[in-house]
Every structure is written in C-alpha cells, then in structure tokens.
Amino acid sequence: MEGKKLIEVVNVSKVYRMGGNEFWALRDINLEVFEREFLAIMGPSGHGKTTLMNIIGLLDKPSTGKVFIDGVDTAKLNDDELSKLRNRKIGFVFQQYNLINRMSVLENIEVPLLLRGLSRSERVRLAIRAIEMAGGDKSWLSKKPNQLSGGQQQRVAIARAIVGDPEIILADEPTGNLDTASSKIVMQTFSRLNGIGKTIVMVTHNPEVALCSKRILYIRDGRISGDEVPDPTKCTLLK
C-alpha cells in the first residue's frame, strides 16, 4: 500500500486480570493502516474487535506493544497530550450514537471543537458544514437528538466525528442499530468521506457492510486470522 502510514500497531497485546484469572483480549497484533484506506474489522463477538478499536483510538492502552498515530509513539505521551492528539486526528462513531439528549444537535456536533478556542460563529459554520457532509440537514441543528430517527441520529454522530476535520474516522458497529435503508445512507456517507481523503476503520459483524470497505481484517481469539481485499461488485449497500 502506497502513501502515508497513519496507524501502526506493533506487537500489541491486551490482557485483563480478574481475581486470579487472565483474559487475553488481544495477542500480538501487528497492523498498518495508510491514509485513504477504508478498513473493516470483522470477527465474532468477544474476540477483540472493539478492544483493538479502543486501543487504536487511544481510549485504552495496550498491556504490551506500541501504537503510532501519524508517526507519533503514543506510549510517550501523557494524558493531556493523548487527548489533544485524539481530538485533532481521530473522529469516533459509535453503535449507540452517544449523543446527549439534553443538548441540541448543534451543541452535540460542536463538542470536539470546544477544546480549540473557536468563536461561536466559527463553530456554527463548521457544524453546518459537517451535518451537510454527513448527509443530514441543517434544520436538524435546533432539535434534540431524541426528536430524530435512528438513522438521522447516526448522521449527527458522523457530523460530530468529522466536524474537527480529523484524518481518521473510527466507527464501531455504525449500522448495528439501523434498518437497511438507513444503513445504506450511512455507508454511502462513509464512502463519500473516504473519497475525499478520510481514512476509515470500521468494526462490523455484518458481511454486507464489510463488503463495502476496501479491505477486511478478520479477528478471532484476539489474533488476526485473515486480511483480504473484497470484491467491490459484491457491495449492495452503495448501489
């Protein structure tokens, strides 16, 4: 793969200790993701997909091994530096949307911008741009998230992920709670964002969704069990 290496996972393992027992969520994972990739991570529930996503997203730390984001050794950063790197480089999309219902859609989308000291008018401008890029409508901005459908809420969550113009979008089961029509809109949005240069790493259990990525990584028992390029003609969600 040509281009800039945005994510590098080197010999990463994650072990959880409960009482006298050890549970290995990940074992010796090595992974490279380059700019403009659209990577899907697939595997059975409980086999390490979300753990890997959280470690790549700097939400969790590996027990052993290292994670590099755009060449930066994240093991050398303190919590404040990790937070700043995460805020600048990574946008997150979750299965449950993780929107705050007491806040307006606009306020939800603005959250990643609050650390940047931008003016109110600039935050609003970027939020409008983000909701339109995510396939939504700026008329939603004054509403509360629970006034929107699930598919609309997920587009708001995508807008929040991209409002700060991160290079990397991490999506954990982004279509898991959606019907087929809404899943199509979300996957079309991701495809469009990938087309304008965003690097996307997406966890999914749905083969139909994974087939719309450009590369599929398979995880089983905390290890990489396969890595393939899917046939784009088999992607039905982008047709």
Residue 194 sits in a domain of what CATH number? 3.40.50.300
- 26 is a domain residue: no
Query: How much is the pLDDT for 195?
Result: 95
Query: Rounded mean pLDDT of the chain?
Result: 94
- 149 is a domain residue: yes
Token duo for residue 173: 């089961």
- Angle in degrees, CA 60, 110, 144, rounded to 5: 105
- 4 is a domain residue: no
- 17 is a domain residue: no
Query: Number of folded domains in the chain?
Result: 1
Query: How much is the pLDDT for 95?
Result: 86
Range of the domain at 155: 35-63+82-234
Percentage helix, strand, coil, to 5, in the chain?
Answer: 40, 30, 35
Residue 99 pLDDT level (bands cut at 50, 70, 90): very high
As a whole number of angstroms, the distance between CA 97 and CA 93 comes to 7
- 101 is a domain residue: yes
As a whole number of angstroms, the distance between CA 1 and CA 199 comes to 13
* pTM summary value: 0.95
Q: Is 88 within 8 Å of 113 (Cβ atoms)?
A: no
- 180 is a domain residue: yes
